[in-house]
Structure 1
């Protein structure tokens, strides 16, 4: 049977969104319900063969029934949609009607609310009027009452002033001040302004009267200062007068009457002190400074007994007396020290400072310092407000202390030098350690610093740091650098007192004497001495950094830029480098006999290569003996041992290559022997830092330097082994083995091979032509 075909026009195309919605709403397995329905495929499924066409009538009948049922369903749905539309329109009309009714009701409610509000306003208008009348009446009554109090207070205050009834006057004045605060906005009214004037006049009269009473009572007492000299009535009168004075600072303003009264009273209390400790008195000098402080201690006890209950506690009169005493003492001491400066010495200065500092600490414990809150000195140290009130007068004279410390430190350096000279000839030390003198020196610095911080953190501390700098340079020069062992031909120059020329040129490192086959070297004790100086310089370098940091922490901020010990740190660092160079110098000196034997060997007559040449044994034995010794002596400064290894590799390997170029002429056997020696020496050098040590790993930077340098030496010998008959092949091999080489090395290698001049010239010309290309 042939398949049925349908044209493209017969297909119904449905959008993808519609298809997706249909599939969600109508879930069916019927092929007719699928969006990708294919009629031809469907017919072929029903009638797969020609024989099946016999049932076509039954199939058509079923299809017609299905179509009929679908039509009925469609008609039923359409009718249902028509009914829904009719019902929806009816509901919408009902909603519109209800909204109209609500709108009408809301309008009526607004009208009623306006009428209600108007009615309430009419009802409350009279109440508001009554409230305003009540408020105005209350304010008027209060004003009249205040005026009554003020008028009555003026009369009573005047009467109390006349009768010297200060207790009553204090209460009245406080009430009057309270009333005046309430009438502050009405002081422009003439009547109130007149009352304020009267009150001010009475207050001024009270102030003068109280001052006169104080002077009469205090100055009129017998000079014996016995407690019974002032009667209890007089004390009570003055105590009540103090209460009056306390009320004379309206609005929290500064109470000038109180200040004037206390200034006069404190001055009268210190009259005896001023007379006893005048500049021309023997008691005024520093050696009797503790008598000043004993006088105040005794006087404050007597004051508390006589007047302790007279002054209000808030006045802190005892503290005010102590503060004024401190200021007066500082001025007196400044004058007397200036006048008798030639009699001062560090012992007397420190004695006076210690006594004064102890007295200030006593005042800090006794008083709160509330009277010093506005003082600039107290702001720096609120916990110890009295600190520095007197001791600051010593600061201009602390130069005496600084100079004394400079002298002591200089003497200490002299002692170190003398002690070292005495021990120099008996020293058999084989283990390196930091010189004890370094610890003693910095311990002395610490003591000086702690003491100076107690005295001052200003300019004197800066001056002390300058003395430290000078002393450190002296220690570095006289104790460290001057005690470095020198070989007979060694000469280390110094430019200036504080500058040590630690830079030794590569050519100056070898201080040897090959006369009669001898080499000038350091003894083990001298090597140990060099390591001791290196360790000491390293200790000084680290400790100077800490010293600089501590000085910067303690010094006043305005002097912070004056503290700088970087030049001294550089000085000790140069000494360390100098020690490293001297150690390398000795190592090189030990290798010199081996190198001498190396160039004296007749390499053209060498036969079959052996394990190692004699010169290699000399070099290796020297290195394997001295490196463990140096490593053990620098175990407390491992970074400098690493630095020494790196420096040694940078010096030794170029020198070894230089001696290789001097081994000529070379035959193949000689070149092979040197190549074998070089390989063996390369292995020894890599293991050298950890030789006879539990730590076998060498510094990575050192190993890298050894491999790079000794590999180049091996490549040079391999080039020597390359035949030169084929010039192009030889040059190609040279460029491959020594890519970073130059013309000078090229010529030297030809010289090592023993190439004759004409042939050598031809090869060189070919090499030049290749370089040009």
Structure 2
């Protein structure tokens, strides 16, 4: 089928819907399919699957002809049906029938409306009667209620006269319930009179109750009041409402505590601070008398005992606050804590008595219009500064022997550590951390528990502030001071032996600082769990923990300083090496054995001393950087190197690399460490391989430089010539050729790792933030990928890049940094190019 003969998809779907064909049926006749993808070859293969089937071609043809006839008859029938359905006369008839149907529906709707109006007229009178019936029922019900109210009011008057409080409670409750239905009818005169009488009766009842309760409270022998009468009267008070009940309780509490106010006046001896226990003993006796005598008549839900306690607490708190504020002599810590402890014990005993927290009892008994209640112990909080100051002084006294003193014996110079390592029997009991640190946190825990029992508000927060202060002092005056050498023991510039005692002291400080920063976090969580909510967000010991981390870093620097001292003789020997006199390469140099031995001694001394592996890894990372930095500095100082010297240094570098690779041991070696070390040594190897290459022919030497270094920096190429020891006369020709070759190569970078190489490493001491030479030498070769590295990772990552073409050989390149826009340029501006040409003209002619 051609493209233009294809049927649209919509037409195919319409035909299938008319012929009731379902697409996708597996058992359907392929000839019935209306798809545009009809395949006649496949159908013929179905009819004639093999050659033998060709003998039945006549029968197949006859069957197809019969199928064609049936389809044609079906088409004729459909065409006839379609013609009949599209008859205009029939369509007109259908439209008329629809119109008649709409007319019938309209007539039915009109008749329904008429019927509704007729029914409404018929039931109009009935609705009036229904309304009259409802009004009559309501009137009868209201009259009956009014009658009941009047009868109950009459009975209540009789009960009040006879003081039958039990019946008064029941009758008054019924009256209040019934009278609620008449609030909307108070404009009716009769109901208004009844309502007024109810109010008058309630006033009379309250007067009777006041007199009877007062008589009961005062216990007049001439007119005794039976407890049963007061018990019934309490039920009447409950009916009158919570305001009346509160007044009755308040009256009772005031009478009971009247004697307390008189006895314990703050101007009398009994009311002084040293007699605070007598106050609580008096209240316990009062509470016991209340529970045995008057308190038995009160309903339990009134919680009169709680109200007595709340009022007693209020009076006592005000008295104590006044006494503490007006105290003439300074308040001692012992007096404060003793009185506070007595008060806290009293509050705890009351909480145990009623199995309810003391503050919750105060909150339940407080009135809505009064200020939030406070505990008795809250009177001591403004004066808890005495306790906090005492803790501050105690901490000062406790740490005084440890501040600015060293906890270990004086160091002695020695390279022999066989008898001084922690594995020796004499040192098996050596502490892992300074005992003063455990004493400090033990003291913290004791003072925290003591203060939390007395107050969890501002005093506890102030105590936490004191704890923070002494953590900072401990870190600075004890730990950091322990890392500093006494002036009498300062290492001389010519002394090159490391101190085992320094390593032990620094490891002890590192372990102690780690213990302190970990325990400080636990301390913060413990204080936060006890503090009141308003102070929790203000508490943080993060700054103190950071300070201990800084102490750990300082301890690692001390260990690196000792490592540098141990390695200094070997690097000094390397610096003094005369590479120009070497005739051939003969194995590793003698200084490498001393270097490896010194590194092994220091590292093996440090490993068993430091507890946390993460700090050991940090030390090893920085130690590796330090060794490579010193190696590079010594290499630069020992120039000129010449080709034979560079080959010898390549062998020596492999020895140093092997030493550094095995330095951590199996348990501390990481992929990051190995990768960073390999990257650093690879750049050094690249530097030495360029120096090994002969300068003749110049094109080959320059090509080798561009392939290995991959930059077009004029100053970097001049550094290679300087390290190689190329004569000045030859340098001009090589620099000319370098400028010519690299100016046409746009693929070269403007800088490389050589840009950070310091050609004058003997300058003033410069500590680097990531890794510095603790002894003062400038570090120009940090380990790539070490902990704390920033910026570009690699050999020269810690030094700044040079400014474009850079200064002449021998000057420091740490003063400028090349911007990204200078990459791929030999000279950054015309002035530098002219100065280069003038320098060439002033050179003597080549010999």
TM range (shorter): 0.7 to 0.9
Q: Does 1:716 align with 2:715?
A: no
Distance between the aligned counterparts of 1:108 and 1:520, measured in 2?
121
Q: Does 1:662 align with 2:649?
A: no
Cα deviation code 1:614-673 (max 9, x no counterpart): 101110111122212212222x22222222223223333232112112334444433322
Q: Give the Å deviation of 1:550.
A: 3.7
1:401 aligns with 387
Cα deviation code 1:313-341 (max 9, x no counterpart): 33222221122122222122222223336
533-542 or 744-753, larger mean C-alpha shift: 744-753
Q: Secondary structure at the residue paired with 1:689?
A: coil
Q: Which one has the bigger helix percentage?
A: 1
Aligned counterpart for 1:737 among listed residues 708, 713, 716 = 708
Cα deviation code 1:560-610 (max 9, x no counterpart): 454343432232222211111111111111111111211223323324322
1:392 aligns with 378
| Equivalent residue pairs, number | 691
Check conservation: 1:372, 1:378, Cα contact below 8 A: no
Q: Give the Å deviation of 1:218.
A: 2.6
Cα deviation code 1:276-323 (max 9, x no counterpart): 322234443444433333332332222122223422333222221122
Q: Secondary structure at the residue paired with 1:221?
A: coil
Distance between the aligned counterparts of 2:536 and 2:76, measured in 1?
102
Check conservation: 1:628, 1:689, Cα contact below 8 A: no
Q: What does 1:269-284 align with in structure 2 at a 5 Å threshold?
A: 269-284=256-271
Distance between the aligned counterparts of 1:37 and 1:544, measured in 2?
84
Q: Secondary structure at the residue paired with 2:226?
A: helix
2:652 aligns with 677
464-473 or 127-136, larger mean C-alpha shift: 127-136
Aligned counterpart for 1:352 among listed residues 334, 339, 362 = 339
Distance between the aligned counterparts of 2:447 and 2:184, measured in 1?
65
Check conservation: 1:360, 1:387, Cα contact below 8 A: no
Aligned counterpart for 1:606 among listed residues 573, 579, 582 = 582
Check conservation: 2:639, 2:723, Cα contact below 8 A: yes
Aligned counterpart for 1:266 among listed residues 238, 253, 261 = 253
Q: Secondary structure at the residue paired with 1:633?
A: coil
Does the C-alpha gap of structure 1 residues 217 and 327 become closer, same or farther in structure 2, counting only changes over 3 Å? same
1:649 aligns with 624
Aligned counterpart for 2:670 among listed residues 676, 693, 699 = 699
1:412 aligns with 398
2:752 aligns with none
Q: Does 1:567 align with 2:543?
A: yes
Distance between the aligned counterparts of 1:174 and 1:621, measured in 2?
103
Q: Give the Å deviation of 1:400.
A: 1.6
Query: Which runs of 5 or more residues in structure 1 are unaligned?
Result: 1-11, 43-61, 223-228, 380-385, 492-510
Does the C-alpha gap of structure 1 residues 302 and 772 become closer, same or farther in structure 2, counting only changes over 3 Å? closer
Q: What does 1:102-501 align with in structure 2 at a 5 Å threshold?
A: 118=118, 122=122, 128-221=127-220, 231=224, 233-249=225-241, 254-255=242-243, 257-340=244-327, 342=329, 344-367=331-354, 389-416=375-402, 430=422, 433-484=432-483, 486=485
313-322 or 144-153, larger mean C-alpha shift: 144-153
Q: Does 1:750 align with 2:730?
A: no
Q: Secondary structure at the residue paired with 1:278?
A: coil
Distance between the aligned counterparts of 2:342 and 2:713, measured in 1?
80
Distance between the aligned counterparts of 2:187 and 2:463, measured in 1?
66
Distance between the aligned counterparts of 1:585 and 1:14, measured in 2?
90
Does the C-alpha gap of structure 1 residues 93 and 407 become closer, same or farther in structure 2, counting only changes over 3 Å? same
User: What's the C-alpha RMSD, in Å, of the aligned pairs?
Assistant: 4.7
Does the C-alpha gap of structure 1 residues 357 and 378 become closer, same or farther in structure 2, counting only changes over 3 Å? farther
Check conservation: 1:377, 1:389, Cα contact below 8 A: no
1:619 aligns with 595
Q: Give the Å deviation of 1:359.
A: 2.6
Distance between the aligned counterparts of 1:644 and 1:68, measured in 2?
96
Distance between the aligned counterparts of 1:77 and 1:336, measured in 2?
119
Check conservation: 1:664, 1:752, Cα contact below 8 A: yes
Aligned counterpart for 2:608 among listed residues 632, 642, 662 = 632
Does the C-alpha gap of structure 1 residues 705 and 240 become closer, same or farther in structure 2, counting only changes over 3 Å? same
Q: Give the Å deviation of 1:531.
A: 0.5
Does the C-alpha gap of structure 1 residues 295 and 398 become closer, same or farther in structure 2, counting only changes over 3 Å? same
Q: Does 1:513 align with 2:493?
A: yes
Q: Give the Å deviation of 1:29.
A: 8.0
Q: Secondary structure at the residue paired with 1:183?
A: helix
Does the C-alpha gap of structure 1 residues 306 and 230 become closer, same or farther in structure 2, counting only changes over 3 Å? farther
Distance between the aligned counterparts of 1:445 and 1:631, measured in 2?
32
Does the C-alpha gap of structure 1 residues 168 and 13 become closer, same or farther in structure 2, counting only changes over 3 Å? closer
Q: Give the Å deviation of 1:85.
A: 6.7
Distance between the aligned counterparts of 2:629 and 2:564, measured in 1?
12
Check conservation: 2:405, 2:481, Cα contact below 8 A: no
Check conservation: 2:580, 2:641, Cα contact below 8 A: yes
Q: Secondary structure at the residue paired with 1:632?
A: coil
TM (normalized to structure 1)?
0.77
Cα deviation code 1:717-760 (max 9, x no counterpart): 22222222333332332233334696555445434433323223
Q: Secondary structure at the residue paired with 1:598?
A: helix
Check conservation: 1:661, 1:749, Cα contact below 8 A: no
Aligned counterpart for 1:526 among listed residues 487, 502, 520 = 502
Q: Secondary structure at the residue paired with 2:475?
A: helix
Q: Give the Å deviation of 1:541.
A: 1.8
Check conservation: 2:408, 2:505, Cα contact below 8 A: no
Does the C-alpha gap of structure 1 residues 83 and 605 become closer, same or farther in structure 2, counting only changes over 3 Å? closer
Distance between the aligned counterparts of 1:421 and 1:373, measured in 2?
52
Q: Does 1:759 align with 2:711?
A: no
Q: Give the Å deviation of 1:87.
A: 13
Q: Give the Å deviation of 1:536.
A: 0.7
The structure number with the bigger radius of gyration is: 1
Q: Secondary structure at the residue paired with 2:587?
A: coil
Cα deviation code 1:458-512 (max 9, x no counterpart): 2212211221122112212332122225276987xxxxxxxxxxxxxxxxxxx66
Distance between the aligned counterparts of 1:716 and 1:186, measured in 2?
110
1:501 aligns with none
Aligned counterpart for 2:513 among listed residues 537, 542, 553 = 537
Cα deviation code 1:78-103 (max 9, x no counterpart): 99859987999999989998997999
Check conservation: 2:359, 2:375, Cα contact below 8 A: no
Q: Give the Å deviation of 1:613.
A: 0.8
Check conservation: 1:316, 1:371, Cα contact below 8 A: no
Q: Secondary structure at the residue paired with 2:658?
A: helix
Q: What does 1:582-601 align with in structure 2 at a 5 Å threshold?
A: 582-601=558-577
Q: Give the Å deviation of 1:246.
A: 2.0
1:500 aligns with none
Does the C-alpha gap of structure 1 residues 304 and 127 become closer, same or farther in structure 2, counting only changes over 3 Å? farther
Distance between the aligned counterparts of 2:283 and 2:132, measured in 1?
67
Does the C-alpha gap of structure 1 residues 664 and 138 become closer, same or farther in structure 2, counting only changes over 3 Å? closer
Distance between the aligned counterparts of 2:236 and 2:168, measured in 1?
7
Does the C-alpha gap of structure 1 residues 297 and 464 become closer, same or farther in structure 2, counting only changes over 3 Å? same
Q: Secondary structure at the residue paired with 1:308?
A: helix
